[in-house]
Structure 1
Amino acid sequence: MNLMRIIRHLVTGQSVVKRAFPPDTLNTIKQAIARSETTHSGEIVFAVEAALDLSLLLKNHFSRERAIDVFSLLRVWDTEQNNGVMIYLLMADHSVEIIADRGIHTRVEQTEWDAACHTMETAFSQGQFEQGILTGIDVITKVLQQCFPADSAGKRKSELSDCPVVL
């Protein structure tokens, strides 16, 4: 258990998320997800959380475990083709995770997701939160276009909300 990490989580509030992701930025992200989803049959979700609560910190939870929990809570796994992908950002840890459902997980190497996360983290470290997420959406879009191309009839029902989720 890292005392400095616990303190960082306790002092990181929702205001950090609001500064990094004001309403205009959240709307831009929503539009990018909606545009992306017209080019493939996958689903993309973006979730951001300021900090973990004390009970998770005391259990030594890290961003990966929390991302998997959020993936489940938001039911990203609940798509017809098991092709949901979530970008999860934990502000207090300056950490981003990409979680892919089983339909995609078997087709994409973890190193590809790790590279996308590193690119986003670099943008975040420069205060470019909107651009970081948009870059992540672009990477996921390319993967989904290859693995789950759009329906040739052009019919697509969005199974999950395109709105960013602020936890």
Structure 2
Amino acid sequence: MNAIAAAVAASERTHTGQVMVAVEADLPLDALWRGHTARQRAEQAFAQLRTWDTEANNGVLLYLLLADHAIEVVADRGLRSRVPEAQWAEVCRRMQQFLREGEHEAAVLAGIEAVTVLLAEQFPTTDGVQHEDELPDRPHLLG
């Protein structure tokens, strides 16, 4: 957990975006009853964790559903309009390589690294000025 929080903090020093990580062992019972997918649950987590609530609308949630070995990346509207879906899918593919081998922390760190590149391209820091850390850096354990 500390390595992930440190990676998020380091990432956010290179851009003005906000990175959040959420991990869930399995879908909650109500989500199962409703037939929700990992994507739908990730979107719920994005809202519940207020990842959307950033000044520049450039928050990103990396969501892992361990029971299904599912990974979802949910980007706020400021990023969705700038980064093609194929690039978000590539982030998921990178993470999936580690997740298949049971290397959960390595999967998250690879995701943070890939998202950092995208955020630094679209929302670079200006004049080396540190921006406000709007969201917590520590991963959220859901469920």
TM-score by length of 2: 0.96
Q: In the TM superposition, what whole-angstrom CA distance separates every residue of 1:39-60 from its partner, at most 9, and x where no partner exists?
A: 1000000000011122211211
Matched, 1:80 2:61: no
User: Which structure has the highest helix share of the two?
Assistant: 1
Give the distance between the partners of 1:87 and 1:38, measured in 2 at CA: 18
Deviating 4+ runs (over 2 angstroms): none
Q: In the alignment, is the contact (CA less than 8 A) between 2:13 and 2:130 conserved in 1?
A: no
Which consecutive residues of structure 1, in runs of 5 or more, have no partner in the other structure? 1-25
Shift of 1:94: 0.7
Task: Give the AA of the match of 1:82.
Answer: N
Match of 1:97 in 2: 72
Contact 2:15 2:124 in 1 (8 A): yes
User: What are the Cα deviations for residues 114-160 of structure 1, in whole angstroms up to 9, with x where unaligned?
Assistant: 11101211211112111111111011000000100013151311000
Matches within 5 A, 1:42-61: 42-61=17-36
Q: Secondary structure at the match of 1:86?
A: strand
Secondary structure in 1 matching 2:53: coil
Secondary structure, counterpart of 1:57 in structure 2: helix
Question: 1:120 and 2:86 equivalent?
Answer: no
Greater mean alpha carbon deviation, residues 119-128 or residues 101-110: 119-128
Q: Quote the Cα distance in structure 2 between the aligned partners of 1:55 and 1:41.
A: 35
Amino acid at match of 1:105: R
Mapped partners of 1:63, 1:105: distance in 2: 19
Q: Which gives a bigger RCO, structure 1 or 2 (Cα 8 Å, sep 6+)?
A: 2
Q: Which residues of structure 2 form unaligned runs of 5+?
A: none
Match of 1:37 among 4, 9, 12: 12
Give aligned pairs, total.
142
